[in-house]
Amino acid sequence: MSNTSTPVLGSFVRLADLAPDEQLLVHGSWNAAERAYIPLSKFPVGAALCACNERGVSKNFFGCNVENRFMSCVICAERNGMTSAVAEGYNDLQKIALVLKLYQGPGASPCGLCRQVLIEFGRDAVVFQAADPERNVWRYLVRDLLPAASGSLRALADLEVSDRRQIGRLLKLAARAYTPYSKKPAAALFTAFNAAGVFKVFAGVSDDNASYGASASAEAVAMRTARTAGYVRQPSLMLMVDDPKALNPVEGESLQVLREFGTGSSVTLVGADGSSVCSNIGELLPDSFGPESLV
Ligand code: THU
């Protein structure tokens, strides 16, 4: 069965029309998926990438998903492959092929965390995402996975009083952040309705950890507090970012957490001076991997 009519990121390219080295990566990703360690999900994912070292020499690396009985210790295929490359000194990502072996429809794309790791090493790298069991692909660039918000920048003074107040609260809240390692205090406000139709605002601040990877972003704290309280409907997120108009304004992991609340969330990006841009999860995490992908 082929999913060629399904609209996803990028353009459809037949396996036979790819360059020989690219075909090799595609086959490598399917082979890597065979080695997936997946006692939890039984959902094999494979990645094969080409990266260059400092001398411009290129080499291929492979990754599969490696699961753990503690979910937060699971690593995806793409990150596994990329970190293997870095461990050998090949930090300059050129091309990556990936396959979600059981599913090639919309959202058969890297998750937010993998997007964040890939963009660190090659924003202009080419992605070949499996499009069907015949190994044809969707082709796009890594930077397409974490784009800038398209909305216009609004000055704080031009906003309505209620929005100004909320942004003021957000910026003040950042003083409570615990950021001894990142030195980037940030805050987030997540608003949603509960099943009874009650609307509430949940706050979060960034919470660093000496092990770095165990740190929580402000927005993740806010979203998870809301879920704990049962507020998951019509979500909207407001958060502090370095530059509301930049590429990749929000950490990929945070977008992946927001994605779990559905595909309709609005996101307001707020700079340190209170200027803001309105966006949404569909724009910031296009063709996202989500619960529907795990069918
Ligand atoms: N997974 C990946 O390896 N890459 C992705 O981009 C999406 C998800 C893995 C993680 C987990 O082992 C399983 O697929 C289900 O999410």
Question: For a substitution probing ligand 1, which of 8, 29, 45, 255 has the most ligand atoms within 8 Å of its CB?
Answer: 45
**What pLDDT, on a 0 to 100 scale, did the predictor assign at position 6?**
54
Same domain for 161 and 131, yes or no, is no
Same domain for 166 and 274, yes or no, is yes
Question: For a substitution probing ligand 1, which of 9, 43, 70, 294 has the most ligand atoms within 8 Å of its CB?
Answer: 43
Same domain for 182 and 83, yes or no, is no
The residue out of 145, 178, 210 marking a domain boundary is 145
Atom 4 (ligand 1) nearest CA:
76
Same domain for 170 and 117, yes or no, is no
> For residue 293, which phi and psi values (nearest 5 degrees)?
-75, -20
Atom 7 (ligand 1) nearest CA:
111
Residue 173 lies in a domain: yes
Residue 96 lies in a domain: yes
Same domain for 286 and 163, yes or no, is yes
The residue out of 85, 119, 145 marking a domain boundary is 145
- 3-state SS class at 178: strand
Residue 1 lies in a domain: no
Q: Which domain holds residue 285?
A: 156-294
pTM over 0.85: yes
Closest ligand 1 atom, residue 289 Cα: 7
**Are 212 and 181 a contacting pair, CB within 8 Å?**
yes
Q: How many domains does the chain have?
A: 2
The residue out of 145, 170, 186 marking a domain boundary is 145
**What pLDDT, on a 0 to 100 scale, did the predictor assign at position 276?**
98
Residue 204 lies in a domain: yes
Look up the CATH number of the domain holding residue 55.
Answer: 3.40.140.10
Total residue count of the chain as it appears in this document: 295
Closest ligand 1 atom, residue 77 Cα: 3
Same domain for 131 and 230, yes or no, is no
Same domain for 88 and 162, yes or no, is no
Chain mean position to CA 288: 8
Same domain for 136 and 169, yes or no, is no
Chain mean position to CA 88: 25
Same domain for 52 and 16, yes or no, is yes
The residue type of 53 is N
Residue 6 lies in a domain: no
List the structure tokens of 209: 């950890």
Centre of ligand 1 from the C-alpha of residue 198, in Å: 34
Report the C-alpha gap between 206 and 202 in whole angstroms.
14
Same domain for 160 and 139, yes or no, is no
Same domain for 19 and 131, yes or no, is yes
**What pLDDT, on a 0 to 100 scale, did the predictor assign at position 295?**
76
Residue 273 lies in a domain: yes
Helix 77-87 × helix 20-33 angle, to 10°: 110
Q: What is the pLDDT along the chain (295 residues), one digit of tens a residue?
A: 344 445 478 999 999 999 999 999 999 999 999 999 999 999 999 999 999 999 999 999 999 999 999 999 999 999 999 999 999 999 999 999 999 999 998 899 999 999 999 999 999 999 999 999 999 999 999 999 999 999 999 999 999 999 999 999 999 999 999 999 999 999 999 999 999 999 999 999 999 999 999 999 999 999 999 999 999 999 999 999 999 999 999 999 999 999 999 999 999 999 999 999 999 999 999 999 999 999 7
Residue 151 lies in a domain: no
Atom 1 (ligand 1) nearest CA:
76
Same domain for 56 and 134, yes or no, is yes
Residue 3 lies in a domain: no
Report the C-alpha gap between 66 and 156 in whole angstroms.
45
